[in-house]
Every structure is written in structure tokens, then in C-alpha cells.
Chain A
Amino acid sequence: MEAQRAKWKVNMYAWLLLLPSLIFLLLFTFYPVLQTIILSFHQADLGSPEPFFNGVDNYKLMLEDDVFWKVLSNNIWFALGTVPTSTALALGMALFANKVLRGKGFVRTAYFYPTIVPMIAVANIWLFIYTPEYGALSHVMEWFGKGDMNWLGDQTYVMWAMIFMVIWKEAGYFMIFYLAGLQNISQELYESAAMEGASSWTVFRRVTFPLLMPTTMFVSIIAFTNSFKLVDHLVIMTKGGPDNASNLLLYYIYETAFSFWDQGMASALTIVMVVLLLAVAAIQFFSLDKKIHYN
């Protein structure tokens, strides 16, 4: 009896301490999520003065919408283009930055600097780089006689241009995680491997890489969610064009909500995107987790 009361008191105390953050969480996270779910089952566009329930109509329309399928496949290609490459590049950069003897600080800063530049500024820089005829890239391409290529205006190239820029922007950020991961590996392990005469490749394959697996998983999940979350550059550079060739799911949601003013459809799209992200993260997590060694 007495024990139960004491326990209740402790519980009460804990809840009280959690209360402030719970209020904010409820107000700004759970409530909007709930509202979005509800709204996705309503027609709420400029044609309907009051939102009204229309069942799964929004979802049905979405499946028939060619643009939806286009931006979804775009986004998948964008993810496939950015995630593995930026992760691998980040690992390579971290290994290098960890090894260089002179100018360690310089190398790290050089690699990390794209990260601290805001995406909007990055987009402006690259907008200039990709400008036909005057842009930096065009000057280089001129040597090959291809100075007039319109990287952002051509449906076949625009996605590559975006992927390249995002890899450049993100790899430095992921490198930081790998650098931290490398610091966690005891020097003794490398010395022990050196005593056995293991080659650098063997050491990387059998020691460094397996021990960095937790970092790799973390980075790849972040990179994957980023490939769906990061659309600032579209606003500056292409607005999703030409003909939706560079459009991504989140930007399409934004357009649906604030250009076409179809709140119901935007909500339905949001739900689809969130479910997709959760599913992929869960698959990554549960399929890889068993094979990863955690300290």
C-alpha cells in the first residue's frame, strides 16, 4: 500500500517534469499530424468553401495523377543518385582527412565548408555555375566544344545537375560523422593489425569498415530522408521544371498546397510521403541492424 503510494508519487513527479515538453509536442506535432490525416480524407480546395469529407477520393485521384508518379520516380532516382555516392564519398573524405599529416585543419574545413553554407546560397552559387555560356561549368565545357549546354533547361541533364550539387553539399556533413566514428576505433587495433602485416585494404575491409557500420547506417538513413526533405534548391533553380523533370515529392506537395491551393490533396500526399519514409527507414534499420556491431 505504502509502496504503491510512493511509486505513484514518483510517477506523478516524472509526468510533471515531462509536462512542458509534452504540451509543446501535443500542440505542434501530434495535433497537426492528426489534422493532416483528417484533412487528407476531405475535399479542401478553392472550389469548396468548407472542407467536406470525401473518403479516399484524394488518394484515388493521386494514383491517377501522372505528375505524382513522375515526382515519385524522380525522387527515387534522386535518392539512388545521392545516398550511396554521398555516403561513400563522405567515408573516403573522412579516411583522408584523418590520415593527412599536414594541414589537417585545412582539409577538414575545406570538406566541411559546403555544409555551413545555407542551401539557398548554395543554390544561387550553382545556378551561376550551371548558367549556359557564362557559367563556370560552361567555361570548362567550352574546352570540349560543348559550352552551350543548358544543364538546368534540359530534361535529360537537370536531374544529374541536381544530384551532383546535393552530393557536393552533403558529403562534407556526413564526413563529420565518419570522422567521429573513426576516432572511436582504438589505435591499438591498427597497431595489432600492423604487427600481423595486414595491408591497408585488408585493414579497411576487415576492421575499419565493419566498425564504422553504425555510422554508415545512421548516415544512410539521414541521407535518404534528406533526399525527400531537401527541396530548397528547387525554389531557386528550376521550380521543378522543365516539365517536372527535376520536381520532387515535397516540392510537389508545396505546390499543391500553396500554388494550387488544394489542401486535401496536399495532406494526402504528405501522408504518403511520411509512410514511405518510415517504411524505408524501418527496412534499413531492421535488415541491417542484425549485421552491425555496436560497442
Chain B
Amino acid sequence: MAEVELRRISKMYEQQKVVNEVSAVIEPGEFFVLVGPSGCGKSTTLRMIAGLEEISGGDLLIGGKQMNHTPPSGRNISMVFQNYALYPHLTVKENILFGLQVRKVNKQEQIKRLNQVAEMLGIAHLLQRKPRELSGGQRQRVALGRAIVSQHPICLMDEPLSNLDAKLRGHMRTEIRRLQQELGITMIYVTHDQVEAMTMGDRMMVLRDGEVQQVGRPLDVYNHPANLFVAEFTGAPPMNTVQAVWRNNGDRSGVELTDQGSTTFLPLGSFAGIKEGAHVVLGVRPEALQPVEEGQKAPGSGALAIKVQGVEILGSETIVEFTVSGKLWKAKWNGQWTCKRGDILHVGFHAEQARLFDGNTGKNLANVAVQEKGEIRECVQ
């Protein structure tokens, strides 16, 4: 079966470790996304799975078999490259058939598969063209076709959409997802774009400096980020964070924000296991921050009086910028809000929407507590 398992896989370049003991089990038919900022080792990890890069440490298993030293063609994998890697001197048809010809698949079978793929991707009318006579989106389709036609159960993609414009990218996202589900392929997909990771993946793995930060379903990762890094990496705009001090006071426990001498207390209810006076980081998603009418009761945890620093009206939603304890925060509200720079507003959030991170390690304190009870399995670390 097409299960891919990484067991503490590492990659060293000279003395530098660029991928550090990455482990994951990718189920057959799963859409698995590797995501992280530039240079975090996503491509390196993918290329180790493909066999284009040697594995310095750990084991790679595909379908239960150790594959560390199997050449790429023996791994039952197809790959879509970032720049598509279409042969510029061959026609679309020859490009798609290249692999089948190399593997000496019989002629009738070749034509049958070619027609199937061309139909599926809507490129039947392009078969006689050279790659340079195609648009970016069409090239992308041909590259997909070449991967699909091989009928390998596993497909790897390295930032396949990064050369497309925003609209086409959105379109291809759904198309790739649709194809993957129709064909039941195991997909390992690399991107630095968290939107792609959130919208396409069954599960995602967040990497940073070659280390796994979190593996889980996109919504779990979004709602329960394992640490500050994941919190600030996911969401657009990302999670707002600010340094704070924890005050223990039974049900009225909460965080104290300090801003130029003045302090604000925000009650969050009880959080198990946080010591009085501990340094924590408070994180709130922009959409969790809602405007509070003057005099109305705040939703749960008090209100912050803020001074608007900037407003972006995007049509369906409005992003309001302000500072909290010296950190720039953003709130995302539905509809079109006509506030302007300098306005004083009140914003609040539900206590359960707040996330607390350890001031030193950046780890999610709630996750630590919950994990001890064994409720959230998906969140690693």
C-alpha cells in the first residue's frame, strides 16, 4: 500500500543539520501538506522522500518497505516540480508519454492513458503544442498530467502553484484537490503559503528550521497551535500576541497587560497549572476580537480601549489596526466599518478564544494541560 512513513529523518549539509529528525506517518489517500517559512527544509524533506536527495539519518518507509537507498524510479512516486520541468523541445503529448516510453509501457496502453489524462485535465486540444506555446496554467496542467499518467499511488508536489497569479492559483488549488480525491492518490504537498495548507490538506505539518512544530488537521492546528510560532504562522492576518503576566485569582484569574506604566487586567477564567506572576504570551485571533458598544457588557473577558491606527476595508470585511502594549494587533470584522485613524474603540473577546503561551518556551499552555488529560492527540509537542 502507499503509506509513507518518515522515521526521525535528518539531512546534514556538511556540518549543518537542515532537517532534524522529522517523523510522520502519511496514510494512503491522504493529502499531506508540508508548510513553513522559506528555508525551513520543506523541499529537502520532499526530495529525500523522492530519492533526489540522500537521507543522512533515519528511515523512510513506503508501503512498509525501507526505501532509503532505492533510486527514485523504484519508489512508485511521481513528482510535480516547481517550474514544471517540462521538456521544452517535446510536445505536450511527448512530455506526458515520456515516462511511459521509458518504462516501455505498451503503445495501446500509452494512448489510452494519454487520452484519459488529457480529458480529465482539459488539455486534449493542446497535445501537439510545445511548452513555450502554453500559458502558465496550461503548463501546470501538463505537469499534473505527466504525474497522473504514471498511475503511481504517491505524488509529490513542491510549491506547484507559486508561478501562477492569485486567481489561477485559487482555481488550481481546488482542481488539484479534486484530482487527488478522484484518483485516491497519496499526496505530499510542499508550500510556504499557509492558506494552501489550510484549504487543501487533510493534515499539515508545520516545519521551522528543520524541526517539526506541529502535525495535525488544519483546523486543529489553527485552533490549537502548539506554540507561538505556529500561532503566528497560521491565519491571515496571523494571530495577535502580546507579553503579559498571569494573575491567579480563582475564577477571576487572568492576564495583566502593561502599557507604559498603566496596567489592564483581562479575566480569562481558570487555566490549570500556571503559576502566579508567570510570564505568558496572550494570543487572540483577529476574527475573535469583536467591537464592544460603550456601556454594553464585554463578551466574557473585559474590554480593551484601543486607538485605531489604520483601517483596511476589503469589501466583505474590515481590518482594524491598533497597538496593545506596544504590539501591533489586527482585528477582522465582517462588513464595512467606517472608523478612521485616531478613533477610540472598545474591543473584546471570549475567554475561550484566548490562547496562552509560555513566555520562555513559546509552548501553548492549554495544550500542555489538555495533553496531560490526553484529549488532543493530533497536537504534537
**A contact residues vs B (CB 8 Å cutoff):** 186, 188-189, 191-198, 202, 206-207, 210-211, 293, 295
Alpha-carbon gap, A193 to B50, bound state (A): 12
| CB within 8 Å for A195 and B78 given contacts A188-B83, A207-B87, A295-B88 | yes
Residues of chain B within 8 A (CB-CB) of A186 are 83, 85
Residues of chain A within 8 A (CB-CB) of B87 are 189, 206-207
Q: Which of A191, A195, A198, A210 contacts B89 (CB 8 A)?
A: A210
The residue in chain A whose Cβ has the minimal distance to the Cβ of B99 is A196
The 8 closest A-B pairs by CB, nearest first: A197-B73, A293-B89, A188-B85, A196-B99, A192-B85, A198-B102, A188-B81, A210-B89
Alpha-carbon gap, A194 to B87, bound state (A): 13
Contact B79 A195 (CB under 8 A): yes
Contact A197 B89 (CB under 8 A): no
| CB within 8 Å for A191 and B102 given contacts A197-B72, A293-B88 | no
Contact B102 A202 (CB under 8 A): yes
Q: Does B374 contact A (CB under 8 A)?
A: no
Q: Which of B81, B83, B98, B130 contacts A196 (CB 8 A)?
A: B98
Q: Does B77 contact A (CB under 8 A)?
A: yes
Alpha-carbon gap, A194 to B81, bound state (A): 13
Nearest chain A CB to B45 CB, angstrom units: 15
Within 8 A of A (CB), among B134-171: 150
B side interface size, CB within 8 A:
26
Residues of chain A within 8 A (CB-CB) of B98 are 193, 196, 198, 206
Q: Which of A189, A194, A293 contacts B52 (CB 8 A)?
A: A194
**B contact residues vs A (CB 8 Å cutoff):** 50-52, 71-74, 77-79, 81-85, 87-90, 98-99, 102-103, 130, 132, 150
Residues of chain B within 8 A (CB-CB) of A206 are 87, 90, 98
The residue in chain A whose Cβ has the minimal distance to the Cβ of B79 is A195
Nearest chain B CB to A257 CB, angstrom units: 47
Alpha-carbon gap, A207 to B99, bound state (A): 13
Contact B102 A197 (CB under 8 A): yes
Residues of chain A within 8 A (CB-CB) of B81 are 188, 191-192
Residues of chain A within 8 A (CB-CB) of B51 are 194-195
Q: Which of B73, B82, B84, B130 contacts A195 (CB 8 A)?
A: B73
Residues of chain B within 8 A (CB-CB) of A198 are 98, 102
Nearest chain B CB to A204 CB, angstrom units: 13
Contact A194 B72 (CB under 8 A): yes
Q: Which of A195, A293, A295 contacts B72 (CB 8 A)?
A: A195
The residue in chain A whose Cβ has the minimal distance to the Cβ of B150 is A196
Nearest chain A CB to B126 CB, angstrom units: 17
The residue in chain B whose Cβ has the minimal distance to the Cβ of A194 is B72
Residues of chain B within 8 A (CB-CB) of A210 are 89
Contact A211 B89 (CB under 8 A): yes
CB-defined A-B contacts under 8 Å, sample of 27: A188-B85, A189-B87, A191-B52, A191-B79, A191-B81, A191-B85, A192-B79, A194-B52, A194-B71, A194-B73, A195-B51, A195-B52, A195-B73, A195-B77, A195-B79, A196-B102, A197-B71, A197-B72, A197-B74, A202-B102, A206-B90, A207-B87, A210-B89, A211-B88, A211-B89, A295-B88, A295-B132
Alpha-carbon gap, A202 to B71, bound state (A): 16
Nearest chain A CB to B10 CB, angstrom units: 21
Nearest chain B CB to A215 CB, angstrom units: 13
Alpha-carbon gap, A106 to B370, bound state (A): 62
What would 17 more interface pairs be, CB under 8 Å, given A195-B77, A195-B79? Answer: A188-B82, A188-B84, A191-B72, A192-B79, A194-B71, A194-B72, A195-B52, A195-B72, A195-B73, A196-B99, A196-B150, A198-B98, A198-B102, A202-B102, A206-B90, A210-B89, A211-B89
